[in-house]
Amino acid sequence: MGRSTATGSKGKRSSCRNEPSAVTASGSSAKSILAEARRLGQQASRKPEGVLRSPVLKSCVELFRRGITLPLSPPEYEEALFDLAEVLLQLCSSLQAGVGQITGCPLEGKTKKGQAVGLQCQNLAEAAEMCRESAEAFESVCTLKGQLEQEALVNSGVALSDWSELALELPESNGGGLTLAKDILLRAFERYSAALLSTPVDVELLVNYADCCVRRAELEVDHPSSDVQWNAIKELYELGLGAYASACANADARIGDDLAGLLHNWGSGLFSFAERSPDLEEALNFVKSGQEKFFTAIKFGSTDANIRNGLGECLTSFVDKLQGKGDFLQRGLDLLQAACNDGYGAVLKIDSSNIAALLGLGEAYLSAGKILIGQGLFPRARESLSESVRNFERAFELMKEDAEKSTKFKYEELCDSLYNFACAAALLEFESKAVEIVEHLLAIDAVCIEDVMKDFDLRNLHQYFLSKYAKKL
């Protein structure tokens, strides 16, 4: 069957203070070093995230590390330590943004999947270490009990949340794993909870807290154990959804609150709850509420493609829950149509070359095509599959024209999208296109011939591959 791609994150926002005033490079050696560090930080901000920005940020980090070891007044030390923590968090973000630039694109065929995953793992492990050090530095600021204590407490939660996500992507042998990720996220939850005691109506903090609650619930329900009950998971969801509601009640766009981002995250949280709820009718009600939040978010962020793509991702992901539910199949088709029209398709009206939207349409139309095949509605299925192939093809054409466009996606995600492209082409009986894609994936070790021969979606290709790879089977 076609492989599902990751839905992506919900756009977590960090709580950051205003830029510190410049420190004159006169006086002590410490002040000179810190002035240079801040100059490098400004220089880094003018470079694109990734391989160009990261080296400058690394130099900036080293200067801050040197500076805080030299004599400084308490306020200067607190500010320098806080700035170090912030730069470490920026470096973490830049390292993650550079993953695609390092691994290359599977379309190029220069890097095999195993090598790409190894490079990615190395890069993400370094990013995770930066997050760990950032959280540690923010917590050291908290112990100073100075003017930056509250901001450091919040940003410690941000760093821990980001570290948790990285830990999920890394194997235990590389400093990751589910158990560690859950432990780190619990620490983030504790930091946000403590910060809310001082500023209970801070909108950005409430959103970060809500995101953390939802993510904790997802990690528990996605990896259930005998000790985890749905009621405890539901409680986490309810805490998160309540925090989104409180943030919305206190938000004011006139003073710069990001209402579009808040509603985006709230809608994603509702979809997350719906996708994992054991009660299907309850889940469908949450889906309706989630759609409403997304539609309101779109009113505030009319040109924000991320919101519409987020809606498309949420709707497409939820449809998997309806598979095999009989009467709910039509609802699944309706939701996929909404994903295409209100989500991804609406993005393309703003930006016709948005690759995330094109890939999303490819996935959504493929899912719809397979549902229609299962219902025996073959003409409609062919229409959906044709749309799937058209959008996949356009997305990969754009990546071939400009390799930089592919660097925003992880190597494995693009491999999965290529595989699904092949599935759509095979179901549409475009055998030559499907064979071309599968042969390429085999060449870069992104799929094995045994899996190809087991996939019912690729059944039209089985005779070809059986004759060509008989000795390997």
pLDDT at 26 over 60: no
Q: What pLDDT score does 2 carry?
A: 47
Collapsing DSSP states into helix, strand and coil, what is residue 263? helix
Predicted model pTM: 0.91
> Each residue of 322-348: pLDDT tens digit?
876 767 788 999 999 999 999 999 999
With H, G, I as helix, E, B as strand and everything else as coil, classify residue 70.
Answer: coil
For residue 304, the one-letter residue type is D
User: pLDDT of 279-328, one tens digit each?
Assistant: 889 999 999 999 999 999 999 999 999 999 999 999 999 998 887 676 77
Q: What is the mean pLDDT of residues 83-89?
A: 98
Question: What is the model's pLDDT at position 141?
Answer: 98
DSSP letter string, 335-362: HHHHIIIIIIHHHHHH-TT-HHHHHHHH
| Whole-number Å distance between alpha carbons of 147 and 222 | 40
Whether pLDDT at 27 is above 70: no
DSSP state of 328: G
What residue segments make up the domains of the chain, in order of their start?
Answer: 20-193, 200-301
> Would you say 163 and 135 are in contact if contact means Cβ atoms under 8 Å apart?
yes
Q: Name every residue whose Cβ is closer than 8 Å to that of residue 316 and which is 6 or more positions away in sequence.
A: 7, 335, 336, 339, 360, 363, 364, 367
| Mean pLDDT, range 123-144, rounded to an integer | 97
- What pLDDT is stored for residue 228 in this prediction? 56
